[in-house]
Structures are given as structure tokens and as C-alpha cells.
């Protein structure tokens, strides 16, 4: 904890801010963070208000709840309505609106068995305690979550718990970054890469940012000095006309990532196309269970399909998640859409960019 506190030191932050201003030397820096924890850290620490005016902060598709597609929520609701099924989920998915504004919270109020768990292993224990029901764990999240879900599936096999399965809707960060850079409207000049996801991936999966797009990518931690150092490294690359993927969070992230976690993930899952809220289908950006694990795959076992659904009326989450629009520019922001009455998922999750803007910005 003492080490973490050192990265909040005001003098260190002041020196880094001066270094950033020197590196910018009047240039712009339009950077995107791709991690909900960064979104909150930048607001909570007050950093956003301290950044030079030429720095534009964009929040990308790094909040797992926010990128869960309407069609995926429709599939959850379908499962929740089936006899003999218990849905287990992380709590922040409960209020995410799907078609017609309906959420799992509504389903729960109407008698569906939806249980909040704090880890996939908790979900497995729910299955062990309810052998007469089929227990489905809603597998959302990125490369950080997928290895623990893979380990849980292997444990289910070991413990011979046969009434457990996972609806895998996990998403992969690098293909989404490529899609964002292919969008001419967002003009991203650098990425603040996600610290947590990078503990698993390491640096190599992001190499294409510099190689194919000449865009710097810096893996950053979550304390103010970590974020400022990452911004300095981006601005210095832009000043020097270079682009590289670098690790500014070595106390947590190894350049090679975590090969054991990746091996677990690869043993159980394989890449597949995935739907992202407001962005649409991105090739090879999701994870599905390998055929060997069909007995633990809710898609196959319960014949789950993702229906065509219209987007939430008026919600601009897609533009927010792509960096095309700041949350306050959505006509519903702070009026019809607030954390108490969320219209879209970016206002539901504590890590959603609309919720962060609402909580920490002056309105």
C-alpha cells in the first residue's frame, strides 16, 4: 500500500505534469483509455481537470458491462425465463437494459432465479447446492476474467458437477482497438492500454498499433503518477515522430504477460466473432468454448441464440464507446438518463464513462 501511495505523491505528479507540458509543446494529444478502472481513476483523482487544454481524454470500450450487446441481454432474459434455470452473474450486469429497457432486475422481480456471485467459483458452488436446477454463469468480461472462468470449467469437470454451464460472451481487447483505428471519425492519437488485461496479454498483442497504424500504446497503472507517466511517454513519442508499445506499469505487468493464464484460456476457449454494444460485430473479438467443452457450454446445451434486436432508442453509447462523442453531448445525459434511471449501460456500470462523467463532472 505504501508503494501505491508513492504514486499519488503531489510533487511527483507536479513534475510529471511539467514534463507532459514540455513534451506537448503546443501539440495536441487525443488519447483513449480502454479500461473502466482508468476511466474512474482519471476522474476520481482530479487528473482530468489538471491536464493541459490540448489533451483530449476519450473513454473507449473498456467497461465489460457497457460493451455487452442488446442481443446478449435479450439472451440473458430468455434464459432467466426458463423453468429449472438459475442464472448467476456479477452484480453490475443486473441493471443493464436490453430490448424494451428490460433488465435482469426486472426478470428477478417477476420471479426469475438470478443470483449475484463474486466469482465464477461461487457460481459453481450454487450449482453444487442446487442439483435439481441448471446453473448458468453469465461469462462477460475481457482477457482478465476469461482465465478464471476457464479454471472454473476445469474444476466443474474435476468435481463432476454436471448441472453447471457458462454462457461465454467474453471479449478480446486487441481486435476492438483495430476496429476503432479503422474508424476515421474518432482520430485517436495514442492509447492508454489497460493495466489489468495487460497482466495477461503482455505487450505483443498490441504491437500492431505501432506497426500498422503508427499509434503509440502505453500500458499504464491506475495511480495519478502512473497515468501521467503514460501520458508523458505518449506525448514524447508524438514529439519525436515515433510509435511504440511500451510498458509503464512494470510493477504489475510483465512484458510477456502471464503465459499460464493464457494457456488456461486457450485450453478451454477459442476466438469467435462477437457483438459489441453500439459497435456491432467485430471479427474474432470474442471467446467461445471449444467443442471438447460442449457439455459445459450454455449456447450448445440450452440452444441459446442471439436475436436481432433494435438498439435502445436515443442512447448514444455506441458513439461514446467509439470516442466519437463525449457523454455530456448525448441529449439524454443527466436528463432522462442518470445513474438512478439509466437508459444505456454506460450509465449503469460504476466503470461506465457516462456514470463517471455524471458523478465527477460539474454539470
Give whichever of 136 and 140 is closer to ligand SF4, judged by the CB atom: 140
Q: Which residues are 193's β-sheet partners?
A: 219
330 binds ligand SF4 (CB under 6 A): yes
74 binds ligand SF4 (CB under 6 A): no
Give whichever of 94 and 347 is closer to ligand SF4, judged by the CB atom: 347
| Ordered strands of the 217-219 beta sheet | 55-59, 29-33, 190-193, 217-219, 245-247
CA distance 130 to 86: 9
What is the footprint of ligand SF4 within residues 339-358 (CB under 6 A)? 343-344, 346-347, 354
CB 74 within 8 A of CB 256: no
Tell the smallest beta-carbon distance from residue 31 to ligand SF4 (Å). Answer: 20
337 binds ligand SF4 (CB under 6 A): yes
In the set 75, 316, 326, 356, which binds ligand SF4 (CB under 6 A)?
A: 316
317 binds ligand SF4 (CB under 6 A): yes
User: Looking at residue 39, what DSSP letter applies?
Assistant: H
CB 167 within 8 A of CB 193: no
Task: Please identify, among the stretches 20-28, 203-211, 291-299, 310-318, the one whose residues bind ligand SF4 according to the rule CB under 6 A.
Answer: 310-318
How remote is the C-alpha of 191 from its chain's centroid?
15
327 binds ligand SF4 (CB under 6 A): yes
Tell the smallest beta-carbon distance from residue 330 to ligand SF4 (Å). Answer: 3
How remote is the C-alpha of 158 from its chain's centroid?
30
Give whichever of 206 and 276 is closer to ligand SF4, judged by the CB atom: 276
Tell the smallest beta-carbon distance from residue 97 to ligand SF4 (Å). Answer: 9
CA distance 113 to 128: 16
315 binds ligand SF4 (CB under 6 A): yes
Tell the smallest beta-carbon distance from residue 193 to ligand SF4 (Å). Answer: 24
Tell the smallest beta-carbon distance from residue 348 to ligand SF4 (Å). Answer: 8
Task: Please identify, among the stretches 37-45, 103-111, 168-176, 338-346, the one whose residues bind ligand SF4 according to the rule CB under 6 A.
Answer: 338-346
- Secondary structure of residue 210 in the 3-state scheme: helix
Strands (E), 34-171: 55-59, 85-89, 114-116, 134-139, 164-168
Q: How many other C-beta atoms lie within 10 A of the C-beta of residue 118?
A: 9
63 binds ligand SF4 (CB under 6 A): no
User: Looking at residue 255, what DSSP letter applies?
Assistant: T
Tell the smallest beta-carbon distance from residue 50 to ligand SF4 (Å). Answer: 25
What is the distance in angstroms between the CA of the first residue and the CA of the last residue of the chain? 34
For the chain, what's the residue count? 363
Q: Which residues bind ligand SF4 (CB under 6 A)?
A: 315-317, 320, 327, 330, 332-333, 337, 343-344, 346-347, 354
Amino acid at each position: 500500500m505504501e508503494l501505491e501511495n508513492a504514486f499519488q505523491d503531489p510533487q511527483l505528479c507536479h513534475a510529471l505534469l511539467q514534463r507532459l507540458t514540455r513534451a506537448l509543446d503546443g501539440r495536441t494529444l487525443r488519447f483513449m483509455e480502454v479500461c473502466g478502472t482508468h476511466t474512474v481513476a482519471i476522474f476520481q483523482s482530479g487528473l482530468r481537470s489538471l491536464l493541459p487544454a490540448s489533451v483530449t481524454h476519450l473513454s473507449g470500450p473498456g467497461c465489460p458491462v457497457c460493451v455487452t450487446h442488446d442481443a446478449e441481454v435479450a439472451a440473458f432474459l430468455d434464459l432467466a425465463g426458463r423453468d429449472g434455470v438459475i442464472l448467476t452473474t456479477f452484480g453490475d450486469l443486473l441493471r443493464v437494459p436490453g430490448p424494451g429497457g428490460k433488465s435482469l432486475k426486472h426478470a428477478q422481480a417477476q420471479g426469475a432465479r438470478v443470483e449475484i456471485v463474486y466469482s465464477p467459483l461461487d457460481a459453481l458452488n450454487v450449482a453444487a447446492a442446487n442439483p435439481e436446477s441448471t446453473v448458468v454463469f453469465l461469462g462477460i468480461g475481457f482477457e482478465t476474467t476469461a482465465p478464471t472462468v476457464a479454471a472454473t470449467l476445469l474444476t466443474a469437470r474435476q468435481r463432476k458437477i454436471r448441472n453447471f454451464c457458462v454462457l461465454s460472451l467474453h471479449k478480446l481487447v486487441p481486435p476492438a482497438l483495430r476496429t476503432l483505428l479503422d474508424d476515421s471519425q474518432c482520430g485517436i492519437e495514442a492509447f492508454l492500454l489497460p493495466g489489468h488485461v495487460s497482466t495477461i496479454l503482455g505487450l505483443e498483442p498490441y504491437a500492431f498499433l505501432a506497426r500498422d497504424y503508427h499509434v503509440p500504446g502505453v500500458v499504464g497503472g491506475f495511480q495519478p503518477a502512473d497515468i501521467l507517466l503514460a501520458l508523458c511517454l505518449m506525448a514524447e513519442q508524438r514529439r519525436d515522430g515515433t510509435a511504440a508499445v511500451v510498458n509503464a506499469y512494470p510493477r504489475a505487468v510483465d512484458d510477456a504477460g502471464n503465459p499460464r493464464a493464457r494457456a488456461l484460456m486457450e485450453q478451454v476457449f477459442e476466438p469467435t466473432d462477437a457483438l459489441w454494444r453500439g459497435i456491432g460485430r467485430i471479427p474474432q473479438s470474442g471467446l467461445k468454448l471449444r467443442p471438447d467443452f460442449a457439455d459445459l457450454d450454455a449456447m450448445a446445451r440450452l440452444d441459446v441464440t442471439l436475436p436481432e434486436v433494435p438498439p435502445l432508442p436515443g442512447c448514444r453509447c455506441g458513439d461514446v464507446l467509439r470516442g466519437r462523442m463525449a457523454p455530456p453531448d448525448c441529449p439524454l445525459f443527466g436528463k432522462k438518463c442518470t445513474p438512478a434511471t439509466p437508459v444505456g449501460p454506460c450509465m449503469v456500470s460504476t466503470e461506465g464513462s457516462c456514470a463517471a462523467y455524471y458523478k465527477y463532472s460539474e454539470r
